[in-house]
Amino acid sequence: AIANACKVSSTFDSELTESDVVADECERFFDEDKELEQLINGQICFKYGNCFAETDKSNGDRKIILPGSFNPLHDGHLKLLEAATSICGDGYPCFELSAINADKPPLSIPQIKERVMQFEKIGKTVIISNQPYFYKKAELFPGSAFVIGADTAVRLINPKYYDGSYDRMIETLSGCKRTGCTFIVAGRKVDSTFKVLEDFDVPEVLKDMFVPIPAERFRMDISSTEIRRSCGL
pLDDT at 206 over 90: yes
- Candidates 71, 154, 160; CA nearest to 111 is 71
Question: In CATH terms, is domain 46-230 a member of 3.40.50.970?
Answer: no
pLDDT-above-70 percentage for the chain:
78
User: In this predicted structure, what is the pLDDT of residue 217?
Assistant: 93
Q: Is the model more confident about 44 or about 54? A: 44
CA-to-CA distance for 190 and 114, rounded, in angstroms? 29
Task: Identify the three-state secondary structure at position 46.
Answer: strand
Q: Which amino acid is residue 38, in one-letter code? A: Q
Q: Where are the domains of the chain?
A: 46-230
**Segment 99-122 mean pLDDT:** 96
Q: Please tell me the total number of residues recorded for the chain in this structure.
A: 233
Q: Helices marked H in 6-69 — which ranges?
A: 18-40
User: In this predicted structure, what is the pLDDT of residue 229?
Assistant: 61
pLDDT at 174 over 90: yes
86 pLDDT band (50/70/90 cuts)? very high
pLDDT one-digit tens code per residue, 113-153: 999 999 999 999 999 999 999 999 999 999 999 999 999 99
CA-to-CA distance for 64 and 54, rounded, in angstroms? 12
148, burial (CB in 10 Å: exposed 0-12, middle 13-18, buried 19+):
buried
User: In this predicted structure, what is the pLDDT of residue 203?
Assistant: 98
CA-to-CA distance for 107 and 128, rounded, in angstroms? 11
Q: Is the model more confident about 146 or about 223? A: 146
Q: Which positions ≥6 away from 73 have C-beta within 8 Å?
A: 95, 115, 118, 119
User: In this predicted structure, what is the pLDDT of residue 119?
Assistant: 97
Q: Which amino acid is residue 165, in one-letter code? A: S
**Segment 34-44 mean pLDDT:** 96
User: Helices 18-40 & 109-122, crossing angle to 10 degrees?
Assistant: 120
224 pLDDT band (50/70/90 cuts)? low
222 pLDDT band (50/70/90 cuts)? low
pLDDT one-digit tens code per residue, 179-191: 999 999 999 988 8
pLDDT one-digit tens code per residue, 47-68: 998 877 554 444 457 999 999 9
- 194 contacts 151 by C-beta, under 8 angstroms: no
- In the chain, what is the greatest distance between 2 CA atoms, to the nearest angstrom? 67
14 pLDDT band (50/70/90 cuts)? very low
